[in-house]
Amino acid sequence: MSARPVLLKADRLTKFFPLPRGRRIHALDDVSLTIHEREIVGLVGESGSGKSTLGKTIVGLHDKTSGSVDYRGERLPKAYRPADFRRHAKTMQMIFQDPYSSLNPRMTVGEIIGEGLAVGTSLSRTEIEARVADWLGRVGLEPGHMSRYPHEFSGGQRQRIGIARALIQGPEFVVCDEPISALDVSVQAQVVNLLQELQDAMGLTLLFIAHDLSMVRYVSDRMAVMYLGGLVEIGPATEVFFHPQHPYTQALIASNPEPDPERERRRGPTAISGEIPSPIDIPPGCRFAGRCPHVMPRCRSETPALRPLSGQPARLVACHLHP
């Protein structure tokens, strides 16, 4: 994977949300991540760990508190203006979790999918309609659906509309933010398969945010693990999944539901103890120290850096157990 050219490089990317009286939510704190062309990077972590914030900050939907994102070697703006969105919409897109709230209910499916083309290009109405019809087919819907409204579709079909809307602009890089979490289990695999087919056909690079670690292992080249705004582990997806090194990754994988209910029953309870702490007053040291079964005194004062495991340059772990 590292032989492929670098597409995107986030360096010490940080996003704080201000609160009254000078306090701040540390949603994303000092995250560095390099993504290569045509790579699929899976991003996992409990709810509230900052996954969506990382995705949105990379594509410019949030301004950056500090740090930078370089795309094909070009520094992206710290805060996007409308012209920046128009310029970068063609290369970077986002597919959202909830296909119910992310589609405007008053617009037809044709208008929703064609919207980006209508503002960003000089295509005629007929040309836009032809492309929309083509994209409806590519995502498994029918050209005749163009004049209908989002409420006339099922959750899976609405996510297909969201996918067409993002991909019609011909992006290279797409953040998929839990694209199947809101869907019935019966249609989740179909939507994942569609995304994989389109990734392959278009040569897309994906940041694939998901809850289900076995699914992330199945679709991703690398897996990145976030906890409380920080990246704690990253590496080849199968290695991280089968040989997790950070105690948080180990706990997360142990608590991932088994696809086989019988094995799930025999395994018994393995959930991570305690709750994810507030991202407002982050204690010094390792963010996971308060819940870690292997905690050592230095973990409460020294923040561990994300470092390669010895002899494995592609495997990075932020833990004092791996000096």
Residues that bind ligand ADP (CB under 6 A): 17, 25, 27, 45, 47-53, 279
Q: Which residue, 181 or 214, has its beta carbon nearer to Mg ion?
A: 181
- We find the least distance from the C-beta atom of residue 10 to ligand ADP, in angstroms, to be 14
DSSP 290: G
> Which amino acid, 304?
P
Comparing CB distances to ligand ADP, the nearer of 6 and 276 is 276
- The SS3 of residue 55 is helix
User: 109 near 148, Cβ under 8 Å?
Assistant: yes
**Which of Mg ion, ligand ADP, none does 48 bind, CB closer than 5 to 8 A by kind?**
ligand ADP
Enter the DSSP assignment of 296: -
The C-alpha atoms of residue 48 and residue 68 are separated, in whole angstroms, by 22
Q: Which residue among 40, 48, 52, 319 contacts Mg ion (CB under 5 A)?
A: 52
Q: Decide which of Mg ion, ligand ADP, none touches 186; Cβ closer than 5 to 8 Å per partner kind.
A: none
Q: How far is CA 221 from the centre of its chain?
A: 14
Q: How far is the CB of 90 from ligand ADP (least distance, A)?
A: 25
Question: Which residue's CB is nearer to Mg ion, number 52 or number 159?
Answer: 52
Is 131 or 211 the residue whose CB approaches ligand ADP more closely?
211
In a 3-state reduction of DSSP, which class is residue 30?
A: strand
Query: 245 is in the binding site of which of Mg ion, ligand ADP, none (Cβ under 5 to 8 A by kind)?
Result: none
* In the complex, least distance from residue 288 CB atom to Mg ion, rounded to whole angstroms: 19
Segment near Mg ion (CB under 5 A), from 49-57, 181-189, 210-218, 239-247? Answer: 49-57
Long-range contacts of 282-285 (CB under 8 A, 24+ apart): 282/26, 282/29, 282/228, 282/229
**How would you label 140-178 residue by residue, b for 16+ Cβ within 10 Å and e otherwise?**
bbeeebbebbbeebebbbbbbbbbbbbbbbebbbbbbbb
Assess contact for 175 and 55: CB atoms under 8 A. Answer: yes
Q: 39 is written with which tokens? A: 């790579």
Considering beta carbons, is residue 128 or 175 the nearer one to ligand ADP? 175
- If contact means CB under 5 to 8 A according to the sort of partner, which of Mg ion, ligand ADP, none does residue 150 touch? none
Q: Give the range of 48-56, 263-271, 273-281, 292-300 binding Mg ion by CB under 5 A.
A: 48-56
Which lies closer to Mg ion via its Cβ, residue 94 or residue 141?
Answer: 94
Minimum distance from residue 39 beta carbon to ligand ADP (Å): 21
Q: Which does 99 bind (CB under 5 to 8 A by kind): ligand ADP, Mg ion, none?
A: none
CA 22, distance to chain mean position in Å, is: 29
Q: Where do runs of H (alpha helix) occur along 77-154?
A: 82-89, 109-120, 125-138
122 contacts which partner out of Mg ion, ligand ADP, none, CB within 5 to 8 A by kind? Answer: none
**Closer to ligand ADP by Cβ: residue 276 or 309:** 276
Give the interface with Mg ion as residue ranges (CB under 5 A). Answer: 52
